[in-house]
Amino acid sequence: MKKSNYLFIVFILLLAINVYSQQPQQRPKIGLTLSGGGAKGLAHIGILKAIDSAGLKIDYVTGTSMGGVIGGLYAVGYSADTIEKISRTINWDLFLSNQASLRTLYMEEKDEYNKYNVELPWVNHKFRLPSGLLQGQEVWVKLSELFYPVYNQKDFSKFSKPFKCIATDVGTGEAVVLSKGEIASAIRASMAIPSFFTAADIDGKRLIDGGIVRNFPVRDVKEMGADIVIGSNVAGPLLPSDKVQNAIQVLLQVAFFREAADSKEEQKLCNVYVDQPLKGYNMGSFSQAKEIIEKGIERGRELYPVFKRMADSLDAIYGKDTSVAQPLPESKPVIISSYEVNGLVNTSAGFFINTIDLLTNKEYTPLRLTKMVRAAYGTRYYSRITYSLVPQEDGTCKIIFDVTENPLTFFKAGLHYNRFSGIAAIVNFTSRNLLFRNSRSMIAANIGETLRARAEHLQYYGRRKNFSTVMSLQGDRFDISSYNTLKQDGIFKQEFFKADFKAQFSTQRNFTIGLGQRFEYVTNKPKINAAFDYSGNNSFVVGYLFLAQNNLDKTDYPHRGVKLNTVFEWVGTQHPRVDFFINGVPVNKDSITVTGSSYARVLFNMDAYTPFGKRTTAEFQIQAGANFKYGNNIMNEFVVGGLTKQFRNQVSFAGLQEGSIYTPAMMVAQVGLRYEFLSNTFLIGRGNVLFNNFISKSKFYNNPDIMTGYSLTFGYNFALGPLELSLMYNDQSKKLGTYVNIGVPF
């Protein structure tokens, strides 16, 4: 019986093995690995599109740096087509900068923003050198917005496709596999390229770009359970020694030594290895993002037959895969029931919360949360703001902000050169909360051939800081050429002093209304006598109402938006003390009447920009102003000429040099077309017409009623600011002129 039982058991086992061997095996799992490579990582999108088109189901995803960004989006449920659309519409210049969008700044901050070449913070009683690294605020904000649908999922294995990304621990130099926590923070850590981005702190570790040690994490997708691996690699080989020519290339070369050897081993683990060398592009080629995406799509078309055969073969062997991938969760608004703000020292939680206008037990969408973070960043009190949403038992969320504050005091410096004003160093000391909380105090000077200085104190009030007062003092000294019938005739020195106080209310970040009063004192003194000159001074008090709008997308070479300023003024009784000269000979005062009577004045300035296509922007400008009943008044005329506004009452005009026309009433209408033929390199054509002598006509200046002019400008936006070289032509003078401007004026 024992022997029979034994044989029976063996028979049953053999029968079971035979039956099992005839059953269909489990469908193999497919893993996808996307390498890092900076801008070149956008080529991965084309491979994803080919995989989706072939109907091939991906079960696991790993990625590093930009591969982590693209792979993470794919893992949480975004389709390849949607990722392509997102990548084509991102403003990469803003995305990869330390700059806030100009539209998020308070109106009072816009004119001073991004104006200086160097900004040194004052920390612990000394200036701290800039790190040269990007905090990546816009990177984090955009990632948080994109990954908002999975804000409540802290385990990356629960995504539509389980996901891991790779970072490097600065302390140990070892790879750190990120598979849980805040997905936006994990990806931000994975892409923290040394010498470009600051490190990210996660779970007590300081993390930087995973590409340093594992840029192509195939082993990790195998460990997740992948039987078949598709690997897309956009990282090129190390540069030959003769091609390493600058400090940045040296840093990157050294940083990625170890990774280069690791990548070769990872490639051997791939079943389908996709090499994308992308010659002519590098990690920083984000200005060519659309071209790189197209290159990736071309490569995807080449590989489509491979993916299609793989999908068809798997279906033939294992049957059609009827499982449905978990879709991208719907981006429903969340109710925020409580908050926490960490990292504040110089500002209070109340200031922060009021700035972003957060109200508890209200619904918030991802776009609203993004806008709120940008609103706080736009105050310029903060260098980095991140948040996490923590689900609560009652279905609401607690929002936790982690904040890094800017130092309160900065020394700023820049260089400016203009054909009219000469070369100058511009220096600035700005301190916040120096005299009172919620304030900005500033002293600035233009030191060079032209001397200028300004002191200003800005004080914010109210819960949302949308009411403010500004007190300022300013002094200028210019040497200005005088013209007679559009021909240079002499030079005079103008000195100007202004004391101003205004109160204003901003209904939103891009619009302000207000009123104010200022005192002006002007002196003119000839240096080289002209045919008609005057020497003397004038002083008066001006009361004014104003409204202003500025929704430009950026300061230099904006693509879209409107900047508008309208002022209604009442110029009070004046005190002119003036002597006139003809060919240097004094004129009898009784023969020329100068009045000091008060008068009304209106000014209007508008600059508008509209994009046409990918590289072309249309520019429109209107400048208008009128001094009513101004015939015998003097020293407050509009001064027409020049392409860059620099001094009091100046009206820019393509075709005329500064000071060519003095008029009490004018309007200039200008149309321009700007073409970006290379990254940050422009060709700009402008034409304008000037209308003079309507409403009021000066007794001292005789100008034509209509003038026309044109300019053609080569522009390049570089580290010192805009560099512009222009040719100008005026129909009335029949002269061709030149104009040069480098940097941003005082």
**Does residue 255 register a pLDDT over 60?**
no
Average pLDDT over residues 219-247: 80
β-strands 30-34, 60-64 pairing = parallel
What pLDDT, on a 0 to 100 scale, did the predictor assign at position 694?
A: 85
| Cβ–Cβ under 8 Å, residues 71 and 32 | yes
Share of the chain above pLDDT 90, in %: 67
β-bridge mates for residue 582, sequence order? 532, 585
713: amino acid identity, one letter: T
Q: How confident is the model at residue 683 (pLDDT cuts 50, 70, 90)?
A: very high
| Cβ–Cβ under 8 Å, residues 463 and 455 | no
Average pLDDT over residues 353-370: 94
Greater confidence (487 vs 655) lies with 655
Span 714-743, pLDDT tens digits: 999 988 889 999 999 999 999 999 999 999
Q: How confident is the model at residue 182 (pLDDT cuts 50, 70, 90)?
A: very high
Question: Which residues are within 8 A (CB) of 178 and not within 5 positions of it... i.e. 6 or more apart?
Answer: 156, 164, 165, 166, 167, 186, 189, 190, 202
Helix (H, G, I), strand (E, B) or coil at 183: helix
β-strands 650-651, 638-640 pairing = parallel
**Does residue 246 register a pLDDT over 60?**
no
Average pLDDT over residues 293-306: 96
| CA distance from start to end of the chain | 107
What pLDDT, on a 0 to 100 scale, did the predictor assign at position 245?
A: 55
Neighbours of 443 (CB within 10 A): 14
Q: How confident is the model at residue 244 (pLDDT cuts 50, 70, 90)?
A: low
β-strands 616-627, 638-640 pairing = unpaired
**Does residue 240 register a pLDDT over 70?**
no
**Does residue 330 register a pLDDT over 80?**
yes
**CB-side exposure of 121: number of CA atoms within 13 Å?**
15
Name the DSSP class of 347.
S
**Does residue 15 register a pLDDT over 50?**
no
Span 501-552, pLDDT tens digits: 999 999 888 999 999 999 999 999 999 888 888 899 999 999 999 999 999 9
Token code pair at residue 228:
């078949």
The angle formed by the CA atoms of residues 264, 267 and 273, to the nearest 5 degrees, is: 140
Average pLDDT over residues 370-392: 92
Average pLDDT over residues 545-566: 95
Average pLDDT over residues 263-272: 90
**Does residue 698 register a pLDDT over 90?**
no
Distance CA 649, CA 469 (A): 23
Phi, psi for 218 (deg, rounded to 5)? -75, -40
Distance CA 77, CA 328 (A): 4
What is the crossing angle of helices 44-54 and 289-318, to 10°? 30
Q: How confident is the model at residue 130 (pLDDT cuts 50, 70, 90)?
A: low
Greater confidence (101 vs 482) lies with 482
| Cβ–Cβ under 8 Å, residues 91 and 62 | no
38: amino acid identity, one letter: G
Give the chain's mean pLDDT: 89
Average pLDDT over residues 7-35: 60
Average pLDDT over residues 487-496: 91
643: amino acid identity, one letter: L
Token code pair at residue 545:
């109402």
Average pLDDT over residues 140-163: 95
Task: Give the burial class of 718: count Cβ atoms within 10 A of its Cβ; 0-12 exposed, 13-18 middle, 19 or more buried.
Answer: exposed
